[in-house]
Structure 1
Amino acid sequence: MTLAAHAETTPIEAPAAPSVVSEDAMKGGWYAVFVMALVVMLAQIDRNVISLMVQPMKRDLGLSDTQVSLLIGLAFSVTYTLVGPPVSRIADRGFRRPVVAASLAIWSCATAACGLAQNFWQLFLGRAVVGGAESASSPASLSMIADVIPRHKLPRAYAIYNAGFIGGGALALTLGGLLLGALRHMEPIHVPGIGLIRDWQIVFIVLGLPGLLVSLLIMLTVPEPQRRSGHKAEGYPLREVLRFLVANRAMHLPMLCGVLLNSMQAFGAAAWVPAFYERTYGWGPAVAGPLLGPINMASALAGLFFGAWLAERLAKRRDDANLRVMFLANFLSIPFMVIQPLMPSPWLALSLSAVGGAIAAMGGAGYNSALQLSTPNAMRGQINALYLFCIAAIGGTLGPLFIALLTDFVAGKEEDLRYVLVGFRALFAPLDCFLIWLAVRPYGKAFRARIEAGD
C-alpha cells in the first residue's frame, strides 16, 4: 500500500503543531494509563472468574460442559457483538472517558447480579450484560492511551495496560479460589423472592461491586485527552473505516485472522484449565486457583515487559518491530503450550505453563502498539472494536465451545480433556503464527505511512 493509494482511500488528518510535553502532562498521561490498566483488570476478573465455577455450576444447576461453555463464551459475546461497534463510534467522537466509566459501572452491577441467578437462563442474561458493557471499554481505553503517551514509549504503556489484563485473569483465579476456599463450609442461604445463594454465587457478588468505585474515580480524576493529531470532530463513518480496512487488507486480513486464532486458544485454555487440573490431577478450585493465578501473572508480566523493551529497542532499526515481536512470541511459545497438558504431575504442568506463558506474553504490547500506530487517530476506537470483537466475541465463544464439544462428543470422558487441549493447540498455534508473519511487512509500510501523514 503506497501513501498515495492510502490518501485516496482515507482522508489524512492534518498534522498537529509541534508542542513540548510538560512534566505534569506526562505524569497525567501515565496516571491515565494506570487507571485504564485497573479498568481492564476488573474486566478480566469479572469475565474470567466463572471458569472456577465449572464444577459447582454443573452440580448445582445441572449443566453439561456444552452449557457451561455457552455461559463462558456465547452469552458474553452476543451482546459484545451488538454493543461494541456503535459505542466505539461514540468514543471516536470524543466521549472516551464517559464510555469507559459507564461501561465499567454497568458490567460491575451485572457481575454481582450473576450471584443471584438460579438457573441457566438467568446466568446467561447476567453474562450477556457483562459482555455488552465490556465491549465498550477497551476500544476507548486503547485510543486514549495513544493520545497521552509519546509514540516511542507506547510499547511500555501498552505493557502496563496489558499487565492489567494479565493481572485480572490471574486475580480471577487467585481471589476466586481463595474466596471459594473460605466459603466452602457455608450453607446455602435462602433469599425470599430469589432462592438459594451458594458459596460460588457469593464470589460473583464480592468481585463485582468494587468496579463502581473505580468508575467514580475515572469521572473525577481522568480528563478526556486531546487528540494528538488533527481531530475529525465527528469521527469517521463506518463506510470509511471499512474502506480503510479493504485498502490495507494486506496487513489487516492476515493479522485479524491470526489474532482470532490466537484468542481462540487463549480463551479456550483460560476457560478449561482449572477444570483440567481438577480432572487430571485432583486439584479443585480452592487449590488450583491460588497457584495458577500468581504463577501465571508473574511469568506473563515478565514476558510482557521484556517484549515491550524488545519492541522499543528493535523499533530504532525496523518499522515492523512491534508485529515482528508478536510473531516471535507466538512462534516460540508453541512447544511449551502443546506438551503442557501431557505432564505426569501438576507441578511440571505449571512449570511449562509458566515458561510458555512468559514467551507468549512478549507479543502483547507490540500488538496493541502496532494497531494504534497503523490506524488514523479518529478511527482507532472503531478499529479496536473490530479486533476486540474477533478476540473477545468470536474467539471467546468458539475457543471454549470447541473444547467443550470435543470433550463431550469426541473424547467422551471428562478426564480426556487434557488430550483435547493438546490437539487444539497443535492445530491452531502454527496457523496463527503463519498469518501474523504475513502481516509483518505490510504493517511496516502502514506504520511509515501514518508517520508521514502526521499521526
Structure 2
Amino acid sequence: MNTDHKATDNAKLSASKPSSASYYALGVLTIVYSFNFIDRQLLAILQESIKVDLDLTDSHLGLLTGFAFAAFYVTAGIPIARLADRSNRRNIVALAVFIWSFMTSISGLAQNFVQLLIARIGVGIGEAGGSPPSHSIISDIFPPQKRATAMGLYSSGVSIGILFGFLLGGWLNEFFGWRVAFVVVGLPGIFLAIIVRFTLSEPKRGQSEARTASATQPSLTEVLSVLWNRPSFRYLSMGAALNAFVGYATANWTASFMIRSHGMSTGELGTWLAVILGLGGAIGMISCGYISDQLGRNDKRWYMWTPMIALLIGIPFAAAAFTVDGKYMALICFIIPGIIMNSYLGNVIAMTHGLVGLSMRATASAVLFFIINFIGLGLGPWSVGILSDLLTPSLGTSALGMALLCIVPPIMVLAALCFYAASRKLRADLTLAPD
C-alpha cells in the first residue's frame, strides 16, 4: 500500500513540473491569442476612418465591434468546444487561426456596412475555435498550482494583440488607409496556422495532474448542470462578464473618444494606446495570475479577491480619464485602468477548470466565454454607441465621453461585488469537482 502511495506521489510530482515542450506550447498558443486580438482590436483604431468612408453611425460601429461579432462568436464556441473535448484540439486551433485571419484580410475589400458586417461575422466564427481548445491544452500541461500563472500568460495575448492592433492599425491607416491595414494584419495569421499544425503536439488529457479522463464524454447538459450547481461559478462568470463589459467598451471606444474630444491622429494615438492598453494590460494579466497563485496556496479566495481589488483601484482613474482636460492627462489617467481592466481573465479560467472534470474543460471554457462575450463583448461596445448617439444632439463631440462615464465606472463596481460573492463560495465548490 505504501509503495502504491509513493508511486502515486511520484507521478503527481513529475506531472507538476511542466516540460520545455509545455512552455513552447504555451508560447505558441499565446501568440495565437495575440493574433486573435490583433484582428479583433484592429477595427477599434480604424473605425473613425471607416465611419467616414462608409457613412456609418456610432450604433453601426458598436454593432460591428460588439453584438454582431459576439453573437456568432459565442454561438459557434460551444459546439466547437464539444468537439475539442473529444478530438484533436491542436488541429481545431490551427483551422480557427486560418479562418479568422483570412476573413480579416478580406474585410479590407468591404464596400458597405453589410459586406463589412459579413466579414466580421466570419472573423467571429473563426475566433470561436481558438480559446476553448487552447484553455484545455494548457490545463493538461500545467498543474493546478501553476495554472492561473499559465492562463495569465496566455491571456496576456489579449493585451499583446491590443498593443499591435493599435500600433500597426494606427500607422497603417495614417499612411495607407484602413483597407490596407486589414490585409496586412490578416495575412500573417495564415502562416501561424501552419506553425500550430506542424509544431505542436496534442497532450494527454489530465497529464498535469496524473489523472485519467473518463472514456465517456459528459453531455452538454451534464457540464451545464455541474457549472450551474456551483454558486461560485455563477458569481465569477457574471463578474467576468461585467468586467469584460467595461473592458471591451473601453478598448473599443477609447480611440474614438481621444480623436473626437482631443483631436489626436491615429498614428500618435495608436502608439500611446499600444503601450497603455497593450503593454500595461499584459503586465496586469501576468501579475494577477502570478500573485493569485502565490497567495492562493493558502487561501483560494485570493483568486477572486485579486481582480476585485484591481477593479476598485481602477474606478476613480477610469472616471477621471473621461473628464479631465488635456489629451496627455487623459492618457495618463488611462494607465491604471489599462493595467487592471483584463487582469481577471487568467484567474476565472483557472478556477472554472478547477470546478469541472477533465473531459469538461473545453466545454466549460466555451460556456464561460459565452457568458463573458454575450454580455461583455456583445453589449459593452454597442450600449456605449447607442447612448452616444442619443446624447449627440445635445452634447455634440462630448457625447461619447459622457456615455463612457455613465457606463464604465458603475459597471466596474458591480463586477467587483460579483467577484467578492464568488470568493465566499469558491473553496467549498472546488472540493466538489468530478473526475
Q: Does 1:268 align with 2:249?
A: yes
Q: Is the 8 A contact 2:159 2:280 kept in 1?
A: no
Correspondence for 2:14 = 21
3-state SS of 1:48 partner: helix
User: Which residue of the partner structure matches residue 136 of structure 2?
Assistant: 143
- Deviation of the 1:234 alpha carbon: 4.2
Q: CA deviation at 1:63?
A: 0.9
Verify the 8 A CA contact 1:411 1:420 in the aligned structure 2.
Answer: no
Residues in 1 aligned to 2:274 and 2:149: alpha-carbon distance in whole angstroms: 23
The 3 A distance-change label for structure 1 pair 247 and 295 is closer
Q: Which amino acid aligns with 2:287?
A: F
Q: Could you tell me how far apart the structure 2 residues matched to 1:16 and 1:251 are?
A: 30
Give the Cα–Cα distance (whole angstroms) in 2 for the partners of residues 131 and 360 of structure 1: 22
How far 1:303 sits from its partner (Å)? 2.4
* Structure 2 CA distance for aligned equivalents of residues 260 and 25 of structure 1: 31
Do 2:51 and 2:57's aligned partners in 1 also have CA atoms closer than 8 Å?
A: yes
Q: Is the 8 A contact 1:319 1:445 kept in 2?
A: no
Counterpart pick for 2:368 among 377, 380, 387: 387
How many Å apart are 1:406 and its aligned residue? 0.6
In structure 2, the residue matched to 1:226 is 204
Report deviation, 1:441. 2.1
* Structure 2 match to 1:245: 227
Q: How much is the aligned-residue C-alpha RMSD, in angstroms?
A: 2.0
Corresponding residue for residue 429 of structure 1 = 412
Alignment of 1:314-353 (within 5 A): 314-353=295-334
Q: Per the alignment, do residues 446 and 421 of structure 1 end up closer, same or farther by CA in structure 2, a change over 3 Å counting?
A: same
* Identical counterparts, % of pairs: 27
Give the superposition deviation at 1:362: 4.0
User: Which residue number in structure 2 is paired with residue 4 of structure 1?
Assistant: none
**CA offset at residue 444 of structure 1?**
1.7
TM-score (norm 2): 0.92
Q: Structure 1 residue 167: deviation in Å?
A: 0.5
> The residue matched to 1:117 in structure 2 has which SS?
coil
The Cα shift of 1:301 comes to: 2.6
Q: In the superposition, relative to structure 1, how do residues 379 and 16 fare at CA in structure 2: closer, same or farther (>3 Å)?
A: farther
Aligned counterpart, 2:178: 200
Q: Distance in 1 between matches of 2:305 and 2:181?
A: 40
Distance 1:265 1:159 in 2: 19
Match of 1:84 among 52, 55, 77: 77
| Residue range with higher mean Cα deviation, 327-336 or 33-42 | 327-336
CA contact (8 A) 1:171 1:293 kept: yes
- Partner Cα distance (2:286, 2:326) in 1: 30
In structure 1, what is the Cα distance between the partners aligned to 2:369 and 2:349? 11
Q: Give, in angstroms, the shift of residue 317 of structure 1.
A: 1.2
Aligned to 1:128: 121
Tell me, which stretches of 5 or more residues in structure 2 are unaligned? Answer: 1-7
Are residue 369 (structure 1) and residue 344 (structure 2) matched?
no
In 2, Cα distance between the equivalents of 1:53 and 1:300? 21
Is the CA contact (8 Å cut-off) linking 2:227 and 2:233 kept in structure 1? yes
TM-aligned CA distance change 1:378 to 1:22, over 3 Å? closer
**Corresponding pairs, count:** 422
CA distance in 2, matches of 1:245, 1:152: 21
Amino acid of the structure 2 residue aligned with 1:420 = A
User: Could you tell me which amino acid in structure 1 is paired with residue 363 of structure 2?
Assistant: Q
Corresponding residue SS for 2:109: coil
Are 2:251 and 2:277, in contact at CA under 8 Å, matched by a contact in 1? no
Q: 1:406 aligns with which of 387, 390, 394?
A: 387
Instruction: Write out per-residue CA displacement over residues 224-269 of structure 1, whole angstroms, 9 at most, x where no aligned residue.
Output: 1101122124421111112112321x11222222222111111111
Which residue in the other structure is 1:8 paired with?
Answer: none
Alignment partners' CA distance in 2, 1:134 and 1:393: 14
Give me the whole-angstrom Cα distance separating, in 1, the residues matched to 2:270 and 2:392.
Answer: 25
Provide the secondary structure at the position in 2 that maps to 1:449.
coil
Is structure 2 residue 292 aligned with structure 1 residue 311?
yes
Question: In 1, Cα distance between the equivalents of 2:15 and 2:240?
Answer: 36
The 5 Å alignment of 1:414-425 reads 414-425=397-408
Residue 94 of structure 1 and its aligned partner are, at CA, apart by: 3.1
Which deviations, in whole Å up to 9, do the C-alpha atoms of 1:313-367 show, x marking residues without a partner?
A: 2122102221221222222221111221111111111112112222344433322
2:432 pairs with 1:439: no
| Cα distance, 1:224–1:306 mapped onto 2, change above 3 Å | same
Counterpart of 2:87 (choices 94, 111, 131) is: 94
Q: Which runs of 5+ in 1 are unaligned?
A: 1-14, 184-198
Match of 1:187 in 2: none
**Matched AA of 2:266:** P
2:165 aligned partner, one-letter code: A
TM-score normalized with structure 1 length: 0.88
Distance in 2 (alpha carbons) for counterparts of 1:383 and 1:16 = 28
